Chain A
Amino acid sequence: MNLAVRDIRHSLGRFVLTTLGVGMLLMVVMGMGGIYRGLVDDALVVTRGIGADLWVVQRDTRGPFAEVSRLPRSLVDRVAAVPGVTDAREFVFHTIQREHRGKPLRMGVLGLGWPTDKGEGLPLIAGRPLAQNHFEMIADESLGLGLGERLRLGKDTYTVVGLTRWLVASGGDGIACFTSRDAQAIQFDEPGESIRLERQARRARADEIDFGRTQPGVLDRASGPAQNLAALPGPSISAVIARLMPGSDPASVQRSMSGWSDVTTYTGPQQEELLLKGSVDRARRQILLFRVLLTIISAVIMALIIYTLTLDKLHPIALLKLIGAPTHVIAGLILQQSLIMGVLAYGVGYLIGTRLFPLFPRRVLVTNDDLLRLAGIVLVISVLASLLGIWKAMRVAPNEAIG
C-alpha cells in the first residue's frame, strides 16, 4: 500500500490544481530557455545558412550584422583573386520597414549572389528558389506573406515565389531574399526626382574631367542607370563572402588580405562570435539571468508547497509515528509526493509549452538537451523541496496525535 498515492487520491482536487500551477511555472522556465536558444539560434541562422568561410567587411567595422559595412562591388573580384579562395560573392543585407496592407512590415533584405546563388540552400517550406534575376523574392513565413503575393518595394513590384521557416535576422525580423541587384535597388530606392538630379550632376561632373570629354560613351552612360557606369562607383555592398578551397587555412588567407587598407576579415566562427558577443549579447544575458531567477523561484515555490502539504499532514504523521511507522516510511511519503508532483508538473509544462510556444512571435527553441537538463533540475528541486517537509515531519512527536 502506497501512502503517498493514497494521500494524493484523498485530496486529489487540490493536488491537481497545485500540480497544474507548478507545471505552468515550469512551462515558463522551459519557455525562457527556449526563448534564449531561439535568440541565439536566430542570430546565427543567416550566417550558418550562408556558410561562408570568410567574411570581408569594411575596415574596422564589425559588419555586416552588428553594424553597417559598405564596400565597393569591385571588391568581389579582388577577393576572388586571393590564393586559397574558390569563390567570392557579394553580400547585401539591410533592414527595412515599409507599409503593407495598412500594417508596418519589417524585414531583413538579403541579396543572393545571382546567378550562382538562387536560394537553393535556404530552408524552403513552400514554393521554389528564384528563377529570374529581377522581381522575385523568397519570404520568411513570419512576414505573413503568401506564395504568389505581390509586394511593392520602391519602384518595383516583387512576387513571393518561395517561403522559408525561421529565417530571421538577429532582431527577430523575418528575412526576404532577393537577387543582390534587387536588394540594392530596394535599399537605395530613391524618388525619381532625386535620381534625375543625380544623373544631371553626374553628367556635369563628367563634362568637367578629361575622361568624360575624351570618351563620349561615358557621357551617354552618365545620364543612364548607375550600374552601367563602370568607372564611377555603383551602390555599395555590405560584405564579400568567400568560400575557401578544401583544406586551406582560413588564417593564412586572412593574413594575405591583412595588408589591404580598406577591409577587415572574419572567419565564419569569428562572425558568429561577433553576433553573440555583439548585437544579441545583452538580450541573451538578460534572458539567461531571468531564466536562472525563474528556476530559483520555482524551487522556492515547490519547497513551500510541499512544506504546506506536509504541515496539513502533521496529525496523520504523528499518528503513523504513534503506531510505530519507521522514519523511512514517513520520509518516503513526503519525498514520493514531491517527486510525483515534480514529474507530473514537468509533464504538464511540457504538454502546454509545446502547444503554446509555436504561437509566439519569435522562435522558442526547446532543445532535447535543455529538456533533459530541466528534468534533472526538477528532480533535484523535488528532492530538496521535500527535505524541508521531512525535517518538519521528523520533529513531530507521536503524542501530538492524541488530544
Chain B
Amino acid sequence: MTEPLALETSGLTKVYGSGHTEVVALRDASMQVRRGEVVALLGPSGAGKSTFLLCVGLINPPTRGTVTIGGKLMQDGPRSLGDLRRFRREHIGFVFQKSNLIPFLSAIENVQVVGELIGRPSSVARRRAKELLDALGVGKRAFNMPTQLSGGEQQRVTVARALANQPSLILADEPTAALDSVRGRQVMELFRDVAHRHGTGVIVVTHDHRALDVFDTIYEMEDGLLKPAASAIARATVAHA
C-alpha cells in the first residue's frame, strides 16, 4: 500500500502532573487508521480516551511517542513538528461531547468560519455550510444563535463544522451523548459515509453499543492501555451485525 495512513501513532504516552500527583493517562498507545476507516474507541470513564484524542488532535502534546497524520510526522514526544494550528484547521475536524459552538455566531456562521479560516471565499464557505447543515437536518435552524438550538441541534451543527474543512482526520469525543439513539445513529452513519466517500479517517469515542455495527474497527481502552476490540460486548455486537 503506497497511500499514506490517515493516522499512525506509536508509543503514545501521556503523564499528567508529577511526583505523587502523577497520573499516567496513556501508556504506549499505538493505532493505525487507514483512509476511509471508521474507528470506535470504547472504554470506561477515566480510561484515557479523551487524552488520546487530544494528543492525536495536536492539542495536548504527548509525553512520549509520535503522531503521524496523512504521512506527515507532526508530533515527536512533546516536540511539535510544524505549525500545529495551521495543520489543525486544514486537516482535522473536531466534535466534542459538550457542543462547543462560538456563542456570538449563528449556526451557519459557526460552520462558515471554518471554511473562511482555510482561505475559501466567504460565499463559497457559506454555500458549503448551508449544504452541510441541510445534510444534517438543521438547515432550517441555520440563522439561529447556538443558545436558541436544542442540545441535539447544537451537536449536529458541531458535526457540520467538523466536516467544513473536508478534513483528512475526524476526531469525535462522545458526539452522540446528547442525542437520542436515532439521531445518534444518523450521526455515526454520516461519519461513515464521509469517511468512505472522501477517504477520511474517523475516530469516535462512544458508549453507544447499539451503533457499533457502523464501524470498521473497534478499539478498547482501559487504564491508559489501548487494545483492539477485546471486550466481549464489542465483539459480540460486531459479530451480531
Contacts and interface: CB of A to CB of B under 8 A. Distances in A.
Interface of A: 1, 3, 6-7, 9-11, 315-316, 319-327, 329, 398-399, 401-403
Contacts of A319: 100, 102
- CB-based closest 10 A-B pairs: A324-B89, A10-B104, A324-B88, A7-B104, A316-B102, A324-B85, A399-B59, A402-B96, A6-B104, A398-B59
Given A1-B109, A398-B59, A325 B89 contact: yes
B24 interface: no
**Interface extent on B, as a size class?**
20 to 34
Contacts of A325: 85, 89, 113, 117
B104 A326 contact: no
A237 B103 CA distance: 77
Nearest to A397: B59
B60 A320 contact: no
Interface in B19-55: 50, 54
Contact of B86 (A3, A6, A326, A399): A326
B133 interface: no
Contacts of A399: 54, 59-60
A6 B109 contact: yes
A323 B94 contact: yes
Contacts of B122: 1
A403 B51 CA distance: 12
Contacts of A327: 85
B112 interface: yes
B104 A401 contact: no
A1 B112 contact: yes
Contacts of A3: 104-105, 113
Which of the listed residues B87, B104, B113 has the most CB atoms from chain A within 10 Å of its own CB?
A: B104
A1 to B, nearest CB: 6
Given A319-B102, A324-B85, A326-B86, 19 more contacts: A1-B109, A1-B122, A10-B103, A11-B104, A316-B102, A316-B103, A322-B88, A323-B94, A323-B113, A323-B117, A324-B117, A325-B89, A325-B113, A326-B117, A327-B85, A398-B59, A398-B85, A399-B54, A402-B98
A326 B102 contact: no
12 contacts: A1-B112, A1-B113, A6-B109, A316-B102, A316-B103, A316-B104, A326-B117, A329-B117, A398-B59, A399-B54, A402-B50, A402-B100
B90 A403 contact: no
A324 B86 contact: yes
B100 to A, nearest CB: 5
Interface of B: 50, 54, 59-60, 85-90, 92, 94, 96, 98, 100, 102-105, 109, 112-114, 116-117, 122, 145, 161, 173
A322 to B, nearest CB: 6
Contact of A321 (B85, B96, B105, B161): B85
B154 to A, nearest CB: 13
B130 to A, nearest CB: 14
A322 B86 CA distance: 10
Contacts of A1: 109, 112-113, 116, 122
A397 to B, nearest CB: 8
A176 to B, nearest CB: 61
Nearest to A313: B104
A6 B102 CA distance: 11
Contacts of B116: 1
Contacts of A320: 102
Contacts of B103: 10, 315-316
B116 to A, nearest CB: 6
A324 B94 CA distance: 11
Contacts of B113: 1, 3, 323, 325
A9 B104 CA distance: 8
A194 B60 CA distance: 99
B157 to A, nearest CB: 13
Contact of A401 (B88, B100, B109): B100
A326 B85 contact: yes
Contacts of B87: 324
Contacts of A326: 85-86, 89, 117
A323 B109 contact: no
Nearest to B103: A316
Given A1-B116, A324-B85, A325-B117, A10 B145 contact: yes
B196 to A, nearest CB: 24
> Considering residues A326, A399, A402, which has the most beta carbons from chain B within 10 angstroms of its beta carbon?
A402
Nearest to B162: A323
A395 to B, nearest CB: 15
A323 B89 CA distance: 5
B104 A322 contact: no
A140 B87 CA distance: 74
Contacts of B89: 323-326
Contacts of A10: 103-104, 145
A6 B60 CA distance: 30
Contacts of B102: 316, 319-320
B80 to A, nearest CB: 13
Contacts of B104: 3, 6-7, 9-11, 316
A6 B105 contact: yes
A375 B173 CA distance: 50
Contacts of A401: 100
A326 B86 CA distance: 7
A321 B83 CA distance: 12
Contacts of A6: 104-105, 109
